[in-house]
Structure 1
């Protein structure tokens, strides 16, 4: 069951990344009608949260030249939450350990904002100061988590952006 959930989560995130990559690569086109913003989900539906995350990420792609890294956690009440938390922590630490180059974005979103904040703080604890200049970190969550996440990522030199999920 854990493997199936991880596979479904990864598949959904990869699909979202593919859409974002295509959006980032498009040349300037004739103006189109502006789509309505996707509302913040009022429940823990992962599909609704991923649609919301996709919308917010697209709006924050300025200065980003590559497909973003998007990390998602479900509600803490999800039966498989701890396994998904552990998998995302491993993924984030692996990505950070390889190094993130200028022009990339790391986007963090979850209906469990506090837990996602914990993940970001823990993952950035070992990142070298100034090693991520030109990288954007987007945290989509609750205002109560903003300052501690900002303080955790600031030493790395990232361009930090907070979007309140309200």
Structure 2
């Protein structure tokens, strides 16, 4: 009788240990490789996907809790480009003039890096000095356009970062 009680007691005590061994591990989150900038400036959909990928990675890295302001200018070859450029310039100018509260992110991107740089420079011409302290601003484009964008946005007090479209 003592032997059977001991066996039952051993079985009861070892059962949770066996169950713990069979637990399945939680699936590991597989991180996708970053997208690269499309080779063709005319592939608007591929550029949009690239910009979305870059923005999502920056939002996660910066621990942002708000939706970023993303200003995307299509390729210059797109019909109606000038109209889109003017509408985006009007919106960006209004936003920059009004000011953006700290903790937000602004992203300016385009396959037409020089035109986007022109837009940023024009939009921030009316921004008040120091009106965007604590705002993160990313310019996604070519290195040769970065310095003039930085010079245009710095007086507003933004935390400027350049991301080379590659």
After TM superposition, the score normalised by the length of structure 2 is 0.78
3-state SS of 2:39 partner: coil
Q: Distance in 2 between matches of 1:71 and 1:45?
A: 17
Corresponding residue of 1:39? 36
Please tell me whether the aligned partners of residues 66 and 104 of structure 2 are also in contact (alpha carbons under 8 angstroms).
Answer: yes
Distance 1:130-1:31 versus aligned 2 partners, 3 A rule: farther
1:96, distance to aligned residue in structure 2 (A): 2.1
What's 1:55 paired with?
A: 53
Supply the distance in 2 between the matched residues of 1:84 and 1:119 (Cα, whole angstroms).
11
Is the 2:97–2:124 contact (alpha carbons within 8 Å) kept by the matching residues of 1?
no
C-alpha contact (below 8 Å) 2:71/2:108 kept by paired residues: yes
Structure 1 residue 45: deviation in Å? 1.7
Q: Superposed, which structure 2 residues align to 1:12-161 within 5 Å? A: 32-43=29-40, 44-61=42-59, 62-161=62-161
What is the distance in 1 between the residues matched to 2:116 and 2:66? 23
Structure 1, unaligned runs of 5 or more: 1-29
In terms of mean alpha carbon deviation, does 93-102 or 74-83 score higher? 93-102
**Offset at 1:73?**
1.0
Q: Is the 8 A contact 1:133 1:156 kept in 2?
A: yes
Q: Report which of the two structures shows the higher radius of gyration computed on alpha carbons.
A: 2
**Offset at 1:159?**
0.7
Q: Give the unaligned 5+ runs of structure 2.
A: 1-26
- TM-score normalised to the size of structure 1? 0.78
Contact 1:64/1:136 (CA < 8 Å) preserved in 2?
A: no
Q: What per-residue deviation string (whole Å, max 9, x for no partner) do you get for residues 135-162 of structure 1?
A: 0111000001000001110111101110
Between Structure 1 and Structure 2, how many residues are aligned? Answer: 137
